[in-house]
A and B are shown apart, each in its own frame.
Chain A
Amino acid sequence: MHMADALISPVVGGAMWAATAGVAAYSIKKVQTEMDEKKIPLMGVMGAFIFASQMINFTIPATGSSGHIGGGLILAILLGPYAGFLTIASVLAIQALFFADGGLLAYGCNVFNMGFFSCFIAYPLIYKVLMKKEYSTKRIFLASVLTAVIGLQLGAFGVVLETLFSGKTELPFGTFVLLMQPIHLAIGVVEGLVTAAIATYIWNARPEIMEKASSGETIGNISIKKVVAGLVAAAVVTGAGLSWFASSNPDGLEWAMIKTAGTAELEATGGLHQQLSDLQSKTAFLPDYSFQANEDQPEQSTGEGEEAWPAVDGGTSTSGLVGGSLTLILAALVGGGISLMKRRKYRINS
């Protein structure tokens, strides 16, 4: 479910970063006021545990295939939603940095999809409610599977929306939803079953861990309202700010939704972009060549919320091909040159 940078736009990435930072700040405040500092090493080592346990392949009965866990739910169950959310956030940070599993700009999206939905929506609204009365193996299984499935469905839907709002892929909404949701239904069931197996084992072996976790932090109605309100505010403000900065002229049916949410495509014309291209036309040397006409040519828009399709004529494409290859060759030469010089320096030194 990790989203890469290549598939998101700066506006979506920035808005989700703001939302995630808001939830994280709130969680940190909660962790600091409600828990003892003992929990910090526990959170750290639990993050490492999730990382390592993702390497365990669990055989799925009757299918012959195997799956692994994501870990969001077990963290929420054992550490509570706030510490669980922060722990998932640091696991995702390390995955993004060291394994390129999810991008840095998409980090906000990823933490939100995999952390927020399971820790702040599915866990308090389903797991906590179902487990309120009593602990039993059956209840743990029921609650875990339901919570994992709903959490992952919401997360998968988040991926769909964020990708579509970013407008980098041509996938229609319906197709994307049909691709994502069923796959994550299966993943959710496995996640729930494995989480339930682990939770039952812990409940039998060390019940005090589960009891502490569930009695420690109750999510009252007020706090969840606060979280959601703060979050929406952060996302809207950032989205609106960024899109104001980027200009505000999105067209097309699909992007009407974004408009109401207060965000828009960065690639729109007018505003800042117009100013820049004005500046460009003033400062461009060689104004007679086709690269300049490129900016002014009417776009061959299909009217479906497309961005300007660069007009391709013989002149521009030849210029583009020649210039493009030259740029790459130049980059390679510069890199090679530096390496060569460095190597020579070492040889002289040694």
Chain B
Amino acid sequence: MANIADSIYNMRLLDDLARQETVIHKLHPLVKLLTTVSYLTVVVSFGRYEVAGLLPLFFYPVMVLALAELPVKPILLRILLVSPFIIGIGILNPVFDQQTFVLAGREFSRGWVTFLSILLKSGLTVTAALLLIATTGMDRLAGALRILKVPRVFVLQLLLTYRYISVLMEEVARTLRAYSLRAPKQKGVHRSAWGSLAGQLLLRTFDRAQRIYEAMCLRGFSGEYHSGEINKICRWDWAYLGGWVVFFILARTYNLPLLIGSLLTGVIR
């Protein structure tokens, strides 16, 4: 997240996507949250040598992407942005795991299998998290957290942080632009301005918080955040959650690709 414009754009994009009204968007936020959590748990519960068994789990993101009519490119881009760290850690696996195995007549280090497994898991988990927010939106997700009895202080503060990120990022962008215009040929903020630049921003943040609090009080803030009505969980919601959980359990218990492959190669033989 080095670039302010990129970050603001990314948040607005996800906000916009969350405002659509597709089958997935209309699902109850709590159901989507629970589905995502069970999906993530299943994905990371696979052993480090598992590759084939992970493949059926591609169905979940693909189905949600298609049903929710989300663009594929920004999501893929996000996965690529996150992957350098994962690759950095994973690429050492072939170095440290010297054991080899033979596939199609050639010898490979077992580390490559663990590396591939980590890459797959990383792609799947990152996509699942992004799909959750892109189909739910922050407000409805906060509603789901309240249903789960997460204390209101935390939820309220989370929503306020989320709400003011774009405001403060724009302020930081203006400040940095002003600074860079007055400090040519400098890469970052000079040491002599560290305290005053960030400190000024911080003081303005304090004053802003005071104004926000006063405005909230004038509008009848009593300590509770009202996010509008969230519908009850209906039968279709339960079916969605149940269906996916059953699929996840099946995919975890049986190696589905191997099953399909054996069936096919067996038939051909």
A residues with CB within 8 A of B: 4-10, 13, 24-25, 28, 31-32, 37-38, 40-49, 51-59, 61, 64, 66, 69, 74, 78, 86-87, 89-91, 93-101, 103-105, 163, 167-172, 175, 193-194, 197-198, 200-202, 205-206, 209, 266-267, 276, 279-280, 284, 286, 289-291, 294, 302, 307-310, 312, 315-324, 326-328, 330-332, 334-339, 342
Are A312 and B168 neighbours in the complex by a CB distance under 8 Å? no
Are A307 and B49 neighbours in the complex by a CB distance under 8 Å? yes
Residues in A whose Cβ lies below 8 Å from that of B201:
49, 52-53
Q: Which 5 A-B pairs have the closest CB atoms?
A: A44-B160, A323-B261, A201-B199, A47-B161, A319-B261
Closest to B46 in A: A267
27 A-B pairs in the complex with CB atoms less than 8 angstroms apart: A4-B122, A7-B118, A10-B45, A45-B205, A46-B209, A48-B205, A59-B186, A59-B189, A61-B191, A91-B161, A100-B78, A103-B129, A105-B44, A167-B48, A171-B89, A175-B92, A198-B195, A289-B263, A315-B265, A322-B265, A324-B52, A326-B260, A327-B256, A328-B55, A332-B62, A334-B59, A337-B66
Are B58 and A327 neighbours in the complex by a CB distance under 8 Å? yes
Are B169 and A52 neighbours in the complex by a CB distance under 8 Å? yes
Q: What's the least CB distance linking A333 to chain B, in Å?
A: 9
Q: Is B220 an interface residue (CB 8 A)?
A: no
Binary interface encoding of chain B residues 226-269 relative to chain A, with 1 for a CB under 8 A from any of its CBs, else 0 = 00000000000000000000000000011111111111111000
Q: Is B165 an interface residue (CB 8 A)?
A: yes
Complex-state Cα separation, A330 to B45, whole angstroms: 24
Partner of B44, one of A13, A97, A291, A307: A13
Residues in A whose Cβ lies below 8 Å from that of B141:
97
Binary interface encoding of chain B residues 41-63 relative to chain A, with 1 for a CB under 8 A from any of its CBs, else 0 = 10111011111100110110011
| A55-B176, A201-B199, A267-B47 given; 16 more Cβ-contact pairs under 8 Å | A4-B82, A6-B118, A25-B151, A31-B153, A42-B210, A45-B160, A45-B205, A52-B168, A89-B154, A97-B141, A104-B129, A169-B114, A170-B97, A319-B265, A324-B55, A331-B56
Complex-state Cα separation, A137 to B56, whole angstroms: 59
Complex-state Cα separation, A42 to B212, whole angstroms: 9
Residues in A whose Cβ lies below 8 Å from that of B189:
56-59, 66
Q: Is B184 an interface residue (CB 8 A)?
A: no
Q: Is B34 an interface residue (CB 8 A)?
A: no
Interface range for B: 35 or more
A86-B157, A98-B11 as given contacts; A276 in contact with B262, CB under 8 Å: no
Are A342 and B194 neighbours in the complex by a CB distance under 8 Å? no
Are B47 and A41 neighbours in the complex by a CB distance under 8 Å? no
Residues in A whose Cβ lies below 8 Å from that of B254:
280, 284
User: Which residues of chain B from 17 to 68 have any CB-CB distance to chain A below 8 Å in the complex?
Assistant: 36-37, 40-41, 43-45, 47-52, 55-56, 58-59, 62-63, 65-67
Q: What's the least CB distance linking B256 to chain A, in Å?
A: 6
Residues in A whose Cβ lies below 8 Å from that of B151:
25, 28
Partner of A105, one of B14, B40, B93, B261: B40
Q: What's the least CB distance linking A47 to chain B, in Å?
A: 3
Are A48 and B125 neighbours in the complex by a CB distance under 8 Å? no
Residues in A whose Cβ lies below 8 Å from that of B157:
40, 43-44, 47, 86-87, 90
Complex-state Cα separation, A193 to B195, whole angstroms: 10
Are A170 and B62 neighbours in the complex by a CB distance under 8 Å? no
Are B66 and A342 neighbours in the complex by a CB distance under 8 Å? yes
A86-B153, A202-B203 as given contacts; A9 in contact with B216, CB under 8 Å: no
Complex-state Cα separation, A276 to B255, whole angstroms: 13
Are B161 and A90 neighbours in the complex by a CB distance under 8 Å? yes
Residues in B whose Cβ lies below 8 Å from that of A280:
253-254
Closest to B268 in A: A322
Q: Is the interface of A mostly helix, strand, loop or mixed?
A: helix
Residues in B whose Cβ lies below 8 Å from that of A9:
44-45
Partner of A101, one of B1, B161, B187: B1
Q: What's the least CB distance linking A338 to chain B, in Å?
A: 4
Partner of A90, one of B56, B128, B154, B194: B154
Residues in A whose Cβ lies below 8 Å from that of B52:
320, 323-324
Closest to A99 in B: B1
Residues in A whose Cβ lies below 8 Å from that of B208:
45
Are A302 and B99 neighbours in the complex by a CB distance under 8 Å? yes
Complex-state Cα separation, A338 to B67, whole angstroms: 7
Closest to A96 in B: B129
Closest to A28 in B: B151
Complex-state Cα separation, A100 to B111, whole angstroms: 25
Are A290 and B262 neighbours in the complex by a CB distance under 8 Å? yes
Residues in B whose Cβ lies below 8 Å from that of A74:
202
Are B266 and A94 neighbours in the complex by a CB distance under 8 Å? no
Complex-state Cα separation, A294 to B261, whole angstroms: 14
Residues in A whose Cβ lies below 8 Å from that of B190:
59
A89-B154, A170-B97 as given contacts; A105 in contact with B58, CB under 8 Å: no
Closest to A202 in B: B199
Partner of A66, one of B10, B36, B103, B187: B187
Residues in A whose Cβ lies below 8 Å from that of B200:
201
Are B168 and A324 neighbours in the complex by a CB distance under 8 Å? no
Are A52 and B165 neighbours in the complex by a CB distance under 8 Å? yes
Q: What's the least CB distance linking A203 to chain B, in Å?
A: 9
